[in-house]
Amino acid sequence: MKVTRSEPVLVHAAGDTPAPAAAEEYYFLSNLDQNVAVLMKTVHVFTSSSSSETPPRRGSAATVIRESLSTVLRSYYPFEGALAVRPDGRLAVRNARRGVPFVEAAADGELREVTDDVSAPGAASAAAAVLVYVDDAAASEENNPLEAPLLTVQVTSFACGGFVLGLAMNHCLADGQSAAAFLRSWSEAARGAPPSAAAPWLDRTLQRARPVPTVGFAHDEFTEIEDVSGGLAAGAFGGSGAPTVYRSFTLDAGKLERLRIAASGGGDGAAASAAAMCSTFVALTAFVWVARTRALGMRPEQRSKLLFAVDVRRRVSPPLPDGFWGNAVVFACCISGAGDLVGGPLSAAARSVRDAIARTDDAFVRSAIDYIEINRGARPSLTATTLVTAWNVLGLHTADFGWGEAVHSGPAELPQKEVVLILRGVRDSRSRVLVVGLPPSCMQAFQEMVDQL
């Protein structure tokens, strides 16, 4: 697919400089923000046949989206800034008002090329084609992270009348929930609709470390696990030089229900009581942890780690304000001997997941923030680790710029090999799609475990 794009233009917030940006040289980033200063690339696909309660304004999709971006940047002014290192060594956003790069493009391919299964051959390259300028930004980030734009936008039109909105957003400014809130606010501005939610709460000092940082938990999410299985370390995944292949697995409502029953301790197909039934997320996460550990052939004595993000907006005391904009997630962690994990019932793994969620309370969150304060630059170790990230709950697809909701909304590139994505079904919203990367010799074992559900 060939994509022809215009030169980027810089979009600025409409009107005068917002008061906070004018008054402050730096925009504060919390420790939870500092830990994820990487580009998050997404594509959002809209068809010409999409319906919307509010007709689009006159003009092309690119024009409408560019003009409304200018409007919404008044409330989300940090996107116009630049990353900087403050005198105290902390990462912050300098309120430089340098603008958001915006590219208008046209594709000669079919819209379906970017709506197909994310793991299908060519799908990743097709998604990259509508993020050409984003890739330029990524190259800039690799050379100097402080030079990369905090937000880059490309709108690619197709002959069928549909279009793709491609974004590269620095994760330090928004987690998944905050990114979705920004998209909804942006789309409402595009339709001329009144805001449906609270204005963004931009003050992140609520998540400052305590005056005397105190670590009250082990924080195994950062613990380095010894590779005793051979080939699990990042440099030798599945054996030196072994490639990683990606596949997607669709679990329909029937499989998900059977999985929930098994994860809740139901035997011989008998469902557990309603009160004891675990959520689909818990069941699916437990299954992925067990199945990936088994597929990789970890030795029984190998410690296997599971990481997954927990939204803490309502788990801290007091809860974060409505509309809090930033990163409000911490990693929950489970660790088990591989032998115990794959040899035990799925309900045992699910119980570990539920317990990890329950532990993520105000004390744990404050401890995690303080841990990062004391251990600057700390990153979760991924040796012998499965990291599950659930995109299906974010609601990114609900943004309606005047052409209806997106028919597909999700990541524009395949994840790291340790990461398993959970996506909503493209054709059936009740189904879930797992995107998994494994060495070829391990993928068949994972497939067999999915088939047995």
Residues in the chain: 453
3-state helix, strand, coil split of the chain in percent (to 5) is 35, 20, 45
Catalytic residue among 33, 175, 220, 400: 400
User: Is 171 assigned a catalytic role?
Assistant: yes
* 224 DSSP β-pair partners: none
With beta carbons less than 8 A apart as the criterion, state whether 29 and 120 touch: no
Is the separation of the CB atoms in 46 and 391 below 8 Å? no
Indicate the burial class of 282 (C-beta count within 10 angstroms; 0-12, 13-18, 19 or more): buried
Query: What is the amino acid identity at position 218?
Result: A
DSSP class of residue 37 equals -
Conformational region of residue 122, where left means phi above 0, alpha means psi within -120 to 50, and beta covers everything else: left
Q: What are the residues whose beta carbons fall under 8 Å from the beta carbon of 96, sequence distance 6 or more?
A: 80, 81, 82
State both tokens at 191. Answer: 């339709």
Alpha carbons 25 and 94: distance in angstroms, whole number = 6
Contact (CB, 8 A) for 399 and 44: yes
What lies within 8 Å, CB to CB, of 362 at 6+ separation is 315, 316, 317
Pairwise CA distance, residues 129 & 166, whole Å: 10
Q: Exactly one of 171, 203, 227, 311 is catalytic; which is it?
A: 171
The burial class, CB within 10 Å (0-12 / 13-18 / 19+), for 442 is buried
The closest of 159, 200, 140, 199 to 47, measured between CA atoms, is 159
Catalytic residues: 171, 400
